[in-house]
Amino acid sequence: MPVDPLHTAGSPPRSAKSQPPRAPATSPVEVRRSARRNRTVSAYREGDRTIVLIPARMSDAEERRWVTVMLDKLAAQESKRVLGDTELADRAARLSEQYFAGRARPDSVRWVTNQNTRWGSCTPAEGSIRLSHRLQGMPEYVVDYVLLHELAHLLVPGHGPRFWQLLKAYPRTERARGYLEGVVAAERLPQLPAARGE
């Protein structure tokens, strides 16, 4: 049976088991069960909704796990489209409106290639936000978290309790932080020696 990023058979990854399903606030999820489906699960966007197709025999717990897995797959696929600086600024404006009541208003938001030791930066005095090009291709929720992190610095300069209280509004803060920590840890791993004959 062919498998592609949006069609998966078998069990979801272990890491998804304890995660509740989350969709973007603007994208409600509709689960459609089918008696004709035996093992495959698929998902796609339909207007402002996300449709997840699952076998009718799945339990509610399996449904929740698979919704989470498929939302992440869709987000990863969509994030591979590289946003330009204008789109990035528009996204920052939407996130500020959604999570900070529009109070964080940067004068500029853009990608940069000179940030190799941090994911983003904010200069409140200039109202500028810069995101590392290394974020391009990462899941949408991770890019959104970094944008929100920098937007929060326009409202609270340091990393004290008030700053983290602001970021609590974003439901994927901890998950995004874990993802970025995993990327950093993977970059520190020694390279495996090549197999013979390669």
Q: What pLDDT, on the 0 to 100 scale, is given for residue 193?
A: 55
* Tens digits of residue pLDDT in 73-103: 887 776 556 677 888 999 999 999 999 999 9
Secondary-structure breakdown of the chain: helix, strand, coil percentages, each rounded to the nearest 5: 40, 20, 40
Q: Give the type of residue at 147.
A: L
3-state secondary structure 85-135: HHHHHHHHHHHHHHHHCCCCCCCEEEEECCCCCCCEEEECCCCEEEEEHHH
Q: Pick left, alpha or beta for residue 134 (phi over 0 → left; psi -120 to 50 → alpha; otherwise beta).
A: alpha
The answer to whether 115 touches 121, Cβ cutoff 8 Å, is yes
User: Mean pLDDT throughout 18-41?
Assistant: 69
* Tens digits of residue pLDDT in 170-194: 999 999 999 999 888 887 877 555 5
Would the pTM count as exceeding 0.75?
no
Contacts of 79 (CB under 8 A, 6+ apart): 137, 138, 139, 140, 142, 143
Q: Give the type of residue at 62.
A: E
